Structure 1
Amino acid sequence: MKKLKLIAVLVLFPLGLNLVGVWELQRSTDDHAEYAAYQADLAEFRPELQAIADNSGSRPVMVDVGDGEKMEVKMALSRVTEMQDELDTLLPLTNVMAWVAKGTITLGLLAALVGGLGLLALNWAGRRAMHSRDQLLHSFTRVTKLLPYVLVGHVVVMGAAIAAIVAFEALGAWHAGRLSAGEMKFMFFGMVLVAGCLYSIWQMGTQLRVMLNMFQPTPMDVMGEAVTVEQAPVLWAYVKDLALTLGALPPDHIVLGMAAGFYVTSGDIALAPANTTLTGRTLHVPLAYLGILDEAETTAVIGHELGHFAGADTEFSMRFVPIYHGIERSLVVIGQTLVDSEWLQRATLHPAFMLGAYFMESFDHAVMHWSRVRELEADAAGAQLAGNLAAASALVRISAIDPMLQERLVAHITQATRPTSEHVPVSDLPTTVLREIAALPLTLPEEEMATQLPHPSDTHPSNGERVASLKVSIDDAVRSGTRPLDATQACAAMDRYFAQPDVLRARLTDDYLSHHVQQDAVLVETLRTHAGNVTGDVALHEGARLRGQILIGFSGLLAVAGLILLLAPVLFPGAAGRDPQPFFVGAGIALFIMLCMLPFGVRLFRRAHKTALLLTPDHFVFANLKAPLPIRDIADFNLQVGNVVMLTILLEDNAPLPELTSRSFFAPDVALNKKKRWLMLPMSKFCRDDKKLKLPELAELIGNYVNAGAARHLLQQRSEQSGELKAG
């Protein structure tokens, strides 16, 4: 479907503009031929009139000017002169219009050609990328450089084509004789539209930077600390020795993190909380895993990551991977810009976003294929250093412990963001988490061997496939990877890599928890702002009493007319003649329309001031629901305008379906679609205090109550959780 939309936007729509240009060219050609024929006739007719005028002297002479119309010769001569002057203007104008039409044809074809070739090139590049990693890198890099310029050119050409079409129609309003006020307004309005199109093209200059940079990688946000050789002498020596053994490029930076796993990247990193940008090759090491894994497993995992900078994978890891995932992040930014921008900017950037998303999809299959290949190659590199069993055991151990590690980190974040009087702040999170995990049973569900390890950039093969590729049995890998964790040994193993481990752990703990406390404070303030945006209840009603009165009144007139027609043959036998049937047919039609119209008039009149929807800070109250609808059960809503204004409310998947009471034709009742989980309230209009709400006002009002209710619910949940923590 997305490809069809792109074809429609990039190819079919320009071809449609091209056909409009062909039609306009035909019109301008026909007009030029017609005006040229008139000019030739006038050139032949004028000397004859001049001769008659010269021979007439002072006496008036009438001449036939066509279609039986006679005119005094001097007046006819004056009119011929005026028409020749107008044709002297119209003929060049048709030439200009012909060139404008030809411009539309050319621009439409050019835009369709650019769009079509762009789509074909993307498909070709995506297929070519499957041949090898070098082909993937070459094709992807070339497309990222050319595609933004192609897209900008397409938008500019399309804008120029639309401006040419509007300019042609505005010029086409010019004709012989005096222009009417309406025609002058039409020409002025057309030229304003042309100016608007040209202005939008000029404004492309303000969007050009965004569009040309949309395929430029953006830095990856990472929470952690970059450690120097002085801070982590053993770790740096260890990593460099592994790189030397593998023949791999060593990292330029080692970043210690708390939550994310092991990974390497050569893309730029935006490091928090230091607010610095790291460039070059970076190895991310989760501090706790230096104690959780034994030395052989750690060697296998770090060797795996360094393997991405060894051999055939080096250029792919250093050039393609950071660009690819940087562009993914960039498209997210463009998407947010689309949501927040005005209509002109959205119209400009939307094709770019669509094509950018399709561009990434064109390479997805090749990227997933080569990511799988390179991960298996990196596993082999790690196994080369530590042995196949150690590499397989590390996969299993990380899969088994990571959910427990994340759960404990979340628990400590919750305690830090919602402290109680009994709460003792954690000053050494890595050591605390290791001791807590050591006290828990370590098991591995069978389905874990089909999961993928968490990784911020690569698509990994399944754990079962990776263990099989290492030629290690699943039982041996699970037995080794799920051995008990000794907290004392784990803490000692973790500390041995650093010069001042206690200082480093304390600093990482403070940075990690402070970061989440600050984020939580911003979230709470945002929730409180939303919750405070509404106060009190708002009743919405239809307010269509006048419309109902008009329908009732018109129904009454129809009833009177029907009765008169029924009685006419009796009261006025002469008027009815011999056949009263037409009167009876007319009466029947009038009474039938009255019967159809009257109930709707009464309906509008009776329910005009009945509350159709009561908005409260915590509930939506509908007239025919047995209980108020909690706002927390609302997933989304939308408004559609047609014959009526339809408010549709989408319920959360886990929310119970509301119960309806009996519906009344004369009440503003809501309908329930159980299959789609929709509540639908149709109204001729929505009013508040007898004042009609425009659609944007209504959407803002309902949105404020939905956001406020959701915010109040989340704040209530936080309060209850804090109470549970305090009680615990």
Structure 2
Amino acid sequence: MKSLKLIAVLILLPLCLGLFGIWVLQRSSQTEMELARTNADLIDLRPQLESLAAQPDSRSITVNIDDEQVSVALALSRLTEAEEVLSTLQPLSAVMTVLAKAVVVLGLLASLAGVLGLIWLRWAGSRANQSREQLLRTFTEVSRTLPYLLVGHIVAIGAAVAAILGFEALGIWHAGKMSTGEFKLMGIALAVMLGCLYSIWQMGKQLRVMLRMFESTPMPVLGQVVTPEQAPVLWAYVRDLADQLGALAPEHIVMGMTEGFYVTSSDVDLLPSGTALKGRTLHIPMMYLGLLDAAETSAVIGHELAHFAGDDTEYSMRFVPIYDGIGRSLGLIAGTMLESDLLQRSILRPAFMLGMYFMESFDHAVNHWSRVRELAADAAGATLAGNIAAASALVRISAIDPLLQERVGAHVGHATHPAEHDLTRDLPTSVLHELAALTLTLPDEEMETRLPHPSDTHPSNGERLASLQVTVEEAVSRGTRPIVAAQACAALNQYFADPQALRTRVTEDFLGHYVTQDAAAVEELRTHASQATEEVRLHEGARLRGWITLVFFAMLMLLGLGLLMWPLLFPEAVGSKKGLILVTGGVLAFLMACLLPFSLRMLMRADKTALLLTPDQFVFANLKQPLPIQHVADFGLRVGQGVHLNLLLEDDAPMPELISRSFFAPDVKLDKKKRWVQLQLMQFCRDDKKLKEKELAELIGTYLNAGTARHLLQQRFEQVD
């Protein structure tokens, strides 16, 4: 389906513009030929008229022009006027021909660019499967060139549309007196054309986004950089492991809290300090330095350093940062699209679609080579500490990680509710003691899980154990050994010059980051909650439409009754048409009798409340209980036979109960299968003023956001005024 959409946007749309341009060019060529023939006729006619005008009796001579006998002088005057008009039409025709040719060229070039782009991506994706070197080369080539191709494609389509509008605007000009309406129509078309060109020019910001869509963006990492002075033992240990592997040592070591071990050559945006790191960075989850033994730590860090050894070095330092950064760039473009207007979204959508297709074209090759390099890195790590240590490290991390995430998450929750809990100033020590009280287990399905990693696709744990030639039982037995808090804390502290100060600083940064995020989220919730504090009554308000239809249907019904009475009152005037008149009158009277109640319905419920919006609930006339806003997952509007407001309920929300209502009162319908609550009205009014579709959507969206925000704040035990 994605391929079909891309073909439609990148190939078929510009191809249609090009074909339209060919038709426009034919029209322009035909007009140009007609003007050329007219010009030739005028050139031939002038000498003849001037010769007649030079004769002594020229005043008595008449000539036939368009079946009208006129004097020679008048004929010359009309000839001069025609030449003046022609002097205007011919340049306009030449410009129109240029515009028509531009539409053809731009449309066909854009279509050709779309064809070549998709073929190129398909070819590059298949070529990348041949080797990691081919993957790196083709991915780099495409990422550098494709954005310019896409920008050219978008500009070409925009210019082609503008050229079509310009052609049609100039085509309104004709010989003879132009009417005011024609001038206005031509002005409107030219204004739309200029608006289109201006919009393309205004898209400079979005075009820059597209040109940079395949550039790497910094990788956000929450952690603390440790220098060789702060962690002399750790730096010496890591450098020694790198020397043993013949690998490049990291330029930075970052102490994290919950993310796994990994190396990256991407630019790093270190949080919360905002420090920018460039070059090779090794990320170490701090608590695992105490949770793993020395051999397991060597195997895991050795695995990561192996990505900077041998043939894997170039792949790790060049390809992985680009590939990882492009994924983040596409996320930024998606965010930009959500904040852009309709025109900008329309222009950015092909870029986003092509970017996703670009990444998908290389997915198979990336996954394949990622699996190969991860298994090779496992083998390299095992050479430092042994296969059993490498295998038990995999199992131990898999067993501890969910418990670690849960305990750290609990402390984050405590930090965001400081009045209710005592805050820790040493998160690693607190969590290590809490984990020591828990029993490590590893369900069988964990052998199919992948370890957390921000950029690579890891093989399953079971596959990695098989590659290390270690049985699951042996790895699980060693990897799920109990945690001894004192030993873990001592093992962690040995790497740092001042471990207490570092643990305190890492704790403050980590918890402070989430406290700041939580405060911003709360402030945003409060802002949303304050935007809908009053009750709003929505009603149909179709009183005028009700009166018009009521009078119209009543008149037709009277006509039908009159037709029924006519044969009875005037039988001699009806003659043989009595049956036809009776049938016509009966059908008309019956239909109007069926339609009249709907007109009365519009009149009687025009002012009745169809939907009452409150800060926390939606109140419908025929629902037994008000509908809490937190039970609404989404909403939609559909225009057709009135306006349909559809509210989608959350999966765990109870279905509302209907109560019987009068036909002449507004009511909702329930679709229990799709979990929709639907209200259909001819129109929605607020204070007797009709709401446009956009206004209604904004109003419903505001109350939904406000109600949801209030509910979330109340869950945080806050009182919202």
* TM-score normalised over the length of structure 1: 0.95
Quick one: which amino acid aligns to residue 251 of structure 2? Answer: D
Q: Deviations over 1:145-170 (max 9, x none)?
A: 11111111112211211111111111
Structure 2 Cα separation of the partners of residues 283 and 445 of structure 1: 30
Alpha carbons 2:154, 2:347 under 8 Å: kept: yes
Q: List aligned pairs for 1:280-291, cutoff 5 A.
A: 280-291=279-290
Structure 2 Cα separation of the partners of residues 646 and 308 of structure 1: 57
Alpha carbons 1:558, 1:593 under 8 Å: kept: no
Percent pairwise identity:
63
Structure 1 counterpart of 2:701:
703
The DSSP-based 3-state class of the residue aligned with 2:589 is: helix
Structure 1 Cα separation of the partners of residues 661 and 28 of structure 2: 62
Shift, 1:528, TM fit: 1.8
**Ranges in structure 2 where 5+ consecutive residues have no aligned partner:** none
Quick one: which amino acid aligns to residue 375 of structure 1? Answer: E
2:44 aligned with 1:31, yes or no?
no
Q: List aligned pairs for 1:130-149, cutoff 5 A.
A: 130-149=129-148
Structure 1 counterpart of 2:77:
78
Quick one: which amino acid aligns to residue 117 of structure 1? Answer: L
Q: Deviations over 1:84-103 (max 9, x none)?
A: 33234323432332222111
Q: Deviations over 1:376-425 (max 9, x none)?
A: 1111111111111111101110011111111111111111211236x332
Structure 2 Cα separation of the partners of residues 397 and 530 of structure 1: 44
Structure 2 counterpart of 1:377:
376
Structure 2 Cα separation of the partners of residues 538 and 633 of structure 1: 19
Alpha carbons 2:58, 2:72 under 8 Å: kept: no
Structure 2 Cα separation of the partners of residues 595 and 181 of structure 1: 48
Q: Deviations over 1:626-658 (max 9, x none)?
A: 222221111111222233211111111222222
Structure 1 residues 456 and 621, CA, compared in 2 at 3 Å: closer, same or farther? same
Q: Deviations over 1:22-61 (max 9, x none)?
A: 1111111212222333334444555555555555837655
Shift, 1:622, TM fit: 1.9
Structure 2 counterpart of 1:634:
632
Q: List aligned pairs for 1:334-483, cutoff 5 A.
A: 334-420=333-419, 423-483=421-481
Structure 2 Cα separation of the partners of residues 244 and 527 of structure 1: 52
2:658 aligned with 1:656, yes or no?
no
Alpha carbons 1:243, 1:250 under 8 Å: kept: yes
Structure 1 Cα separation of the partners of residues 80 and 303 of structure 2: 92
Shift, 1:230, TM fit: 1.1
Alpha carbons 2:561, 2:586 under 8 Å: kept: no
Structure 1 residues 133 and 540, CA, compared in 2 at 3 Å: closer, same or farther? same
Alpha carbons 1:536, 1:616 under 8 Å: kept: yes
Structure 1 counterpart of 2:57:
57
Alpha carbons 1:218, 1:326 under 8 Å: kept: yes
The DSSP-based 3-state class of the residue aligned with 2:248 is: coil
Alpha carbons 2:290, 2:490 under 8 Å: kept: yes
Structure 1 residues 560 and 55, CA, compared in 2 at 3 Å: closer, same or farther? farther
Quick one: which amino acid aligns to residue 210 of structure 1? Answer: V
Q: Deviations over 1:655-714 (max 9, x none)?
A: 222233346543322222222222222211111222212222212221121111111211
Structure 2 counterpart of 1:604:
602
Structure 1 residues 170 and 536, CA, compared in 2 at 3 Å: closer, same or farther? closer
**Ranges in structure 1 where 5+ consecutive residues have no aligned partner:** 722-728
2:552 aligned with 1:543, yes or no?
no
Structure 2 counterpart of 1:725:
none
Which of the numbers 558, 568, 572 marks the counterpart of 1:560?
Answer: 558
2:167 aligned with 1:168, yes or no?
yes
Structure 2 counterpart of 1:329:
328
Structure 2 Cα separation of the partners of residues 73 and 580 of structure 1: 71
Which of the numbers 520, 523, 526 marks the counterpart of 1:522?
Answer: 520
Shift, 1:177, TM fit: 0.8
Structure 1 Cα separation of the partners of residues 703 and 377 of structure 2: 52
Structure 1 counterpart of 2:151:
152
RMSD of aligned C-alpha atoms?
2.1
Structure 1 residues 462 and 46, CA, compared in 2 at 3 Å: closer, same or farther? same
Structure 2 Cα separation of the partners of residues 322 and 595 of structure 1: 74
Structure 1 Cα separation of the partners of residues 570 and 30 of structure 2: 62
Q: Deviations over 1:500-539 (max 9, x none)?
A: 1111111111221222222212222222222222113222
The DSSP-based 3-state class of the residue aligned with 1:638 is: strand
Structure 1 Cα separation of the partners of residues 484 and 144 of structure 2: 53
Structure 1 counterpart of 2:716:
718
Structure 1 residues 506 and 542, CA, compared in 2 at 3 Å: closer, same or farther? same
Shift, 1:105, TM fit: 0.7
The DSSP-based 3-state class of the residue aligned with 1:719 is: coil
The DSSP-based 3-state class of the residue aligned with 2:653 is: coil
Quick one: which amino acid aligns to residue 503 of structure 2? Answer: R
Alpha carbons 2:150, 2:351 under 8 Å: kept: yes
Structure 1 residues 5 and 51, CA, compared in 2 at 3 Å: closer, same or farther? same
The DSSP-based 3-state class of the residue aligned with 1:199 is: helix
Structure 2 Cα separation of the partners of residues 685 and 650 of structure 1: 20
Structure 2 Cα separation of the partners of residues 377 and 138 of structure 1: 22
Structure 1 residues 578 and 639, CA, compared in 2 at 3 Å: closer, same or farther? closer
Structure 1 counterpart of 2:239:
240
Structure 1 residues 113 and 185, CA, compared in 2 at 3 Å: closer, same or farther? same
- More deviation in 262-271 or 622-631? 622-631
Structure 1 residues 524 and 89, CA, compared in 2 at 3 Å: closer, same or farther? closer
Shift, 1:432, TM fit: 0.9
Shift, 1:226, TM fit: 0.6
Alpha carbons 2:59, 2:72 under 8 Å: kept: no
Structure 2 Cα separation of the partners of residues 459 and 23 of structure 1: 52
Structure 2 Cα separation of the partners of residues 405 and 560 of structure 1: 81
Structure 2 Cα separation of the partners of residues 710 and 406 of structure 1: 27
Quick one: which amino acid aligns to residue 465 of structure 1? Answer: E
The DSSP-based 3-state class of the residue aligned with 1:650 is: strand
Structure 2 counterpart of 1:207:
206
Structure 2 counterpart of 1:278:
277
Structure 2 counterpart of 1:691:
689
Structure 1 Cα separation of the partners of residues 663 and 553 of structure 2: 18
Structure 1 counterpart of 2:197:
198
Alpha carbons 1:21, 1:105 under 8 Å: kept: yes
Structure 2 Cα separation of the partners of residues 131 and 344 of structure 1: 41
The DSSP-based 3-state class of the residue aligned with 1:226 is: strand
Structure 1 counterpart of 2:6:
6
Quick one: which amino acid aligns to residue 558 of structure 2? Answer: V
Quick one: which amino acid aligns to residue 521 of structure 2? Answer: L
Structure 1 Cα separation of the partners of residues 44 and 106 of structure 2: 41
* TM-score normalised over the length of structure 2: 0.95
2:21 aligned with 1:21, yes or no?
yes
Size of the aligned set, in residue pairs, is: 719
Structure 2 Cα separation of the partners of residues 457 and 705 of structure 1: 39
The DSSP-based 3-state class of the residue aligned with 2:633 is: strand
Shift, 1:574, TM fit: 6.7
Q: Deviations over 1:108-135 (max 9, x none)?
A: 1111111211111111111111111111
Structure 2 Cα separation of the partners of residues 303 and 486 of structure 1: 25
Alpha carbons 2:300, 2:393 under 8 Å: kept: yes
Quick one: which amino acid aligns to residue 10 of structure 1? Answer: L
Alpha carbons 1:636, 1:649 under 8 Å: kept: yes
Alpha carbons 2:59, 2:71 under 8 Å: kept: no
- More deviation in 587-596 or 399-408? 587-596
2:646 aligned with 1:677, yes or no?
no
